[in-house]
Structure 1
């Protein structure tokens, strides 16, 4: 079985490693070099780096039997492109959907970052943005001295902060997920009054963000997840492993 997985997420890495170990021919498409770094060292795995539109995805899919969308829960555009490409290419698609969190602590919830920014424009106090570099332009109208952006330590992330005019002293370039203690330390260091976050689930350290906000007194602005029908990653993995075992009975008996 030849599998194409989109996503350098935790779920994507687990699926890639386990399915490659089970004998599948696995290729993973990731958007950034950092995503490729996280997949280094996994045997029998091909990694492709770079963002692709639906047409490029369709061309790539011609060689594969199955596509798995393991992109981030908030990567709605990427997921839409993957669906379009799979339909056009006639390749079956499975979606590994990270479970949502049971959120009870949020001062404000918004459907978009633009809505969150409009709310924050009516507030005071420092703001910690943990929604990713691509979402930063939505906050362009806010006082840049209020903004503290936590982004990945890449040229892309830092350049996005610079383009918005965020002072360098307010740029926190680090790769997560982060524990509660480090989140608390950052919020205390920068006197954060507002935490802007997405529900990244357990893999994204979401619970630790909320706990740090509670301990430090920061208020949470939560960006709601887009609608995302899919399968629990572990359940999907077990189904695919069973399919591989059925296709390769000699491998199953040798293990």
Structure 2
């Protein structure tokens, strides 16, 4: 059995091609939303968050022979645990990693730690658009300038509720499915008079290029939560080349 760690658009793109060559696949996702991304594909699925011990049991129970990690670029703990488990169980590990966007915005700041980013944000004047995902919303709830911060999240009731549970007013919640075009980003930032955009370096798949171009046109500063560098084994940035190496 081949285990694909999924939950991203990357995993959907990979699986749509890989199922032509392999039919013994189980895909794990940490959320139900991640599972919906692979609906209607001929694969087994498992939707649960797993720590290292759970991964070890998963590998044993499903007689896993290969691990293909297509998790989010910022899912550091997931990838680290998967690599450790693969090494302990003496099975192959492969990683698909999005290519980095090859442009930098005119105005930007980088932060490696979310706590440092939050401290910086609290002292900003002007409206701010946060696109870090709903999991990070609670970190903003006590900021003195919270009324000037807008949160763009997925249009799911549980994510909207998370915002409301953390002092975010309905007028500051933008619940929409991305990624967004440059024009959509421009329209949204103009509508809310945005001066700062907070985002991850999510590559082309996550709409990073469109964010950069939109911010440059509006003279908006991008505040990045930077990606930690990880040393992946068997890492590929091209799905077709990854599949070629998997089936040879």
Shared fold (TM-score greater than 0.5)? yes
The equivalent residue for 1:132 is 133
Cα deviation code 1:53-107 (max 9, x no counterpart): 2111111112211011111111112212222333343332111111112242142
In the TM superposition, what is the alpha-carbon distance from 1:109 to its structure 2 partner?
Answer: 0.8
**Corresponding residue pairs, total:** 240
Aligned 1:24-103 pairs, distance under 5 A: 24-42=23-41, 44-62=42-60, 63-103=63-103
> Which of 172, 182, 205 matches 1:170?
172
1:152 aligns with 2:154: yes
For the residues of structure 1 that align with 2:78 and 2:160, how far apart are their CA atoms? 22
In the TM superposition, what is the alpha-carbon distance from 1:141 to its structure 2 partner?
Answer: 3.5
CA separation of 1:112 and 1:102: change in aligned 2, threshold 3 A: farther
For the residues of structure 2 that align with 1:160 and 1:84, how far apart are their CA atoms? 33
The equivalent residue for 1:121 is 122
The equivalent residue for 1:251 is none
The equivalent residue for 1:108 is 109
In the TM superposition, what is the alpha-carbon distance from 1:150 to its structure 2 partner?
Answer: 0.8
The equivalent residue for 1:18 is 17
The equivalent residue for 1:199 is 201
The equivalent residue for 2:6 is 7
Q: Any unmatched runs of 5+ in structure 2?
A: none
SS at match of 1:108: strand
CA separation of 1:47 and 1:71: change in aligned 2, threshold 3 A: same
The equivalent residue for 1:182 is 184
Choose between structure 1 and 2: higher helix proportion: 1
